[in-house]
Amino acid sequence: MSNILGYTPIEIATPGVSFIPKFKTSDLINDQLIRTHQLQRDHKRRLRKMQKHFRKQLPTLYNFSILHITKTISGTVNGEDITIEPGFDMVDGHTRREDILQSLKKGENTYPDNVPVMVYEVDNFKEYKDIYYSFDSSDATEKTNEKIAGACRALGLTLNQVTGRSGGFGTALDIAYPGDSKDDILTKVAYFKDEIIELDSIGLFNPKDSILKSQCIMALGLMSLKYYSKPDSSKARLIGGLSRLANAKKNTLDHGDPKWWYGLDCIEYEFFTEPGKWIPAEYHRKTSYSAIEPQMNFFWYCIENYMLSTKISKTGGVKTPSFKGKYQKYRDALLATQPIEGYDFVVDEDEDIDE
């Protein structure tokens, strides 16, 4: 392994991995030399929480890891391209590096002048992603919302609502995603990239009335925006309906026609007026396994009727057996009409997914 940033690394037994025992801390905090990893979450949000551990000055705090990207690499995640230029990216130690910077601004010096650094050579996007997630894995300290924030950053998503910016829609993402639940978060966020932006713009991440802030409703938004993305007339109608939900408030509720339901007003009635009428009350806004399907079946029943402009009689027109299977139906429909890269999905020719 050749000279790295003026240092002579020590090769170890693992191919492509080397060790620099005395790396200048001043070089480590120079973001022109060592960049932030493209998948990194907003580590500044974690700094205050972690500082009490940093002040213990344990020797493990001073071990850092960086990636040496040896050539331009790129990856496509569900049609979204990510390109990484040659150079050096931090892979383990972002929050500690931020702590060093903040300490120096305060005139403090809580870190040594030199720290040990492991260097991992990468020449493809898969390694770039996998090595990062090996440090920030599901059993590490990073939370799902932080991983989502990192994925949004990598994909260039600029979100405005608090829940969107903080990645606080992880359960919604899992509920909405029609592929393997074990797929990594970057894949899931990439699949719903446009829909996440749209949902944030509509305001459904943080609706006007907090009672409608539900992971299942967010999931419905992601799924339906992707399913009804074309033609433009369908997308426009759906956005109008979801915007109505985002802005609905109990004291301004208007169900309009005294005789008919029109789809989305059923959701408003269920949440604002008579919880438990169509969804068991104990399932409202819950994300346990048993609670998801009853909510999503009902929500999709409402969206389906809204999009078809179907009138439903208020005197016995809504029958709960008609909700059955809606959620799975539209999960299958998404895989068929909006396929995930690497998945093979065959539609039963006898099944009309657009009934």
Question: In the predicted model, what is the mean pLDDT of the chain?
Answer: 86
pLDDT at 351: 36
Structure confidence at residue 217 (pLDDT)? 97
Helix H or strand E encompassing 174 = helix 170-176
Give the model confidence (pLDDT) of 296-324 as tens digits: 999 999 999 999 999 888 888 888 899 99
pLDDT at position 78, please?
64
Tokens 């208007």 — which residue? 254
pLDDT at residue 238, rounded to an integer: 97
**Measured between alpha carbons, how far is 113 from 22 in angstroms, rounded to an integer?**
9
Unique residue bearing structure tokens 């915007």: 243
Among residues 275, 285, 310, 153, which one has the least CA distance to residue 207?
Answer: 285
Other C-beta atoms lying within 10 Å of the C-beta of residue 12: 13
Please tell me whether the peptide bond between 321 and the residue prior to it is cis, using omega within 30 degrees of 0: no
Q: Quote the CA–CA distance of 9 and 289 in Å, as a whole number.
A: 50
Contact 100, 7 (CB under 8 A): no
Rounded CA-CA distance 149/157 in Å is: 9
Residue 161 CA to residue 139 CA, distance in Å, equals 28
Residues 6+ away with beta carbon under 8 Å from 203: 161, 243, 246, 247
Residue 146: CB atoms within 10 Å: 21
pTM of the model: 0.64
Other CB atoms within 10 A of residue 157 CB: 20
Angle, alpha carbons 148-154-155 (nearest 5°): 90
pLDDT score of 232: 95
Which residues of the chain fall short of a pLDDT of 70? 1-2, 41-49, 51-53, 55, 78-79, 136-142, 252-257, 342-355
